[in-house]
């Protein structure tokens, strides 16, 4: 998806993990994914550079669809569909 499409997307769950460092954002995503239904969309907010690569790999292993990442000022918004 393009950055514009991602920015316009309606998320079902937003996880703010900006106060944690690796592996905090990944664990926050793991905890939150159980709270949404299959097909719903979640975003993970992280200020940790490694999360940009961790979440796509995690999605691939767990069977979730990684949608893309939007870089904001000082953090990332990482989108996925369960």
Partner 1 sequence: MANKKLTLALFSGSVDKLTAAGVILGGAAAEDMDVDIFVLLQAAFAFKKENAMTNDRVAEITDKKEDFLASLKRLNAPHWTEAFRTAKEMTNVRIHICGFAGKVWHGEKLDDFIDLADDIVGIGEYMTAAEQADINLFI
Q: Which secondary structure element, helix H or strand E, spans residue 33, and what is its range?
A: helix 24-33
Q: Closer to partner 1 at the Cβ: 3 or 35?
A: 35
CA distance 81 to 67: 7
58 binds partner 1 (CB under 8 A): yes
Catalytic residue (one of 16, 19, 22, 50): 22
> Which one, 26 or 67, has the nearer CB to partner 1?
26
Compute the Cα dihedral for 12, 36, 64, 30 and give only its sign: positive
Contact letters for partner 1, residues 7-46 (x by CB under 8 A): ------------xxxxxx-xx-xxx---------------
Q: Which chain residues interact with partner 1 by CB under 8 A?
A: 19-24, 26-27, 29-31, 58, 61-62
Query: Which residues participate in catalysis according to the annotation?
Result: 22
């Amino acid at each position: 998806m393009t950055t514009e499409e991602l920015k316009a997307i309606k998320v079902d769950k937003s996880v703010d993990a900006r106060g944690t460092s690796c592996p905090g954002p990944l664990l926050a995503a793991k905890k939150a994914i159980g709270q949404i239904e299959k097909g719903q969309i979640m975003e993970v907010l992280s200020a940790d550079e490694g999360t940009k690569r961790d979440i796509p790999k995690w999605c691939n292993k767990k069977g979730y669809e990684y949608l893309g990442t939007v870089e904001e000022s000082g953090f990332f918004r990482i989108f996925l569909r369960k």
